[in-house]
Each structure stands twice: as C-alpha cells, then as structure tokens.
C-alpha cells in the first residue's frame, strides 16, 4: 500500500464541506437559492472537483482486472446508490410524495436521480477501464468515451 497523500485528503474534505454548504444554502434560502452567490460559486466547482479527485485515483483501478475492478466498484458505488434509492423510495412513498411508477422510471426523474453522481462515476469506471487498457493512450480513451456518451444520450 502506498503512502497516504494528505493534500488529497484535505481536497476531499474541502469538496465534502462545499457540497454540505451548497445544500445548506439551498435549504436555508427559502427556495431562492438559484441566484444566491454562495450557491452559484459552490455549484461552479464542486462536482468537477469531485470527479477530478476520483480521476486522480483511477490509475490504481487499471492495476486490477476488469472483473475484479467492476465487482469492487459495484460494491463501493453501486451498493450505496441502491441503498440510498431504496431508502428514498420508502420515505417518499410513506409521505405520499410520489407514485411508485415515477420511482421506477429509468430516468433522472426516477432511479437515476437519487445519488446520481455515484451512478455516473460507476459508469465512468466501467467504461474507461477497458478503453484505457485497449487503447493505451489515456486522452484518446477519454475522447472516445466522451463521444460515445454524447452520441448515445437520450433526446429530451
């Protein structure tokens, strides 16, 4: 195991604090957060920072085979995502907030909405691992993945 990178721990701590502050701004603004300067500032960087930090550690995933990496990421990202979704469903149904059909919809209105960033990150790992291994040039793999995702997104 390698030496711990303390500056990356501080960056992760900053990112987590930023997400908490952004969501607190949403809740405390009385629904008027869209133009709130703190919210606008935090939302300009917090998800790109999250993805950057995750991407920083991606090369360690290439040291494992695809199956081993996929099982590990399903456990690390998929299981919490499904658990959060199940909890959200129970809470929303108990509160009478939504219909079961809305929750089961395979879209950002249903399943994909709940902790969407974990699902996106899982998808990135599952897509980029084979592309980086096969193409051996990271920037080409990233470009190809971007083109594949953009060309296959659903029409709105």
Cα–Cα distance, 126 to 110 (Å, whole number):
22
114 neighbors 88 (Cβ within 8 angstroms): yes
What was the pLDDT predicted at 65?
A: 93
What was the pLDDT predicted at 104?
A: 64
What was the pLDDT predicted at 76?
A: 92
Cα–Cα distance, 104 to 16 (Å, whole number):
29
The tens-digit pLDDT sequence of the chain (156 residues) is 567 788 888 998 898 888 888 888 887 877 787 888 888 899 898 888 888 888 888 888 889 999 999 999 999 999 998 888 888 778 777 877 766 666 666 555 566 667 778 888 888 899 999 999 999 888 898 888 888 777 655 554
Residue 147, both tokens: 């083109």
What was the pLDDT predicted at 72?
A: 94
**Integer-rounded Cα radius of gyration of the chain:** 18
Region of residue 136 (left: phi > 0; alpha: psi -120 to 50; beta: else)? left
């Amino acid at each position: 195991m390698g030496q711990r990178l303390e500056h990356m721990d501080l960056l992760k701590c900053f990112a987590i604090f930023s997400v908490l502050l952004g969501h607190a701004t949403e809740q405390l603004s009385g629904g008027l957060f869209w133009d709130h300067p703190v919210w606008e500032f935090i939302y300009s960087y917090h998800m790109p920072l999250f993805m950057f930090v995750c991407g920083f550690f991606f090369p360690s995933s290439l040291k494992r085979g695809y199956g081993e990496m996929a099982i590990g990421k399903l456990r690390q990202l998929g299981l919490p995502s499904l658990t959060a979704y199940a909890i959200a469903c129970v809470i929303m149904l108990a509160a009478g907030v939504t219909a079961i059909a809305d929750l089961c919809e395979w879209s950002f209105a249903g399943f994909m909405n709940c902790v969407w960033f974990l699902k996106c990150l899982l998808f990135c790992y599952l897509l980029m691992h084979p592309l980086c291994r096969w193409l051996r040039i990271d920037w080409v793999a990233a470009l190809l993945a971007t083109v594949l995702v953009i060309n296959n997104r659903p029409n709105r």
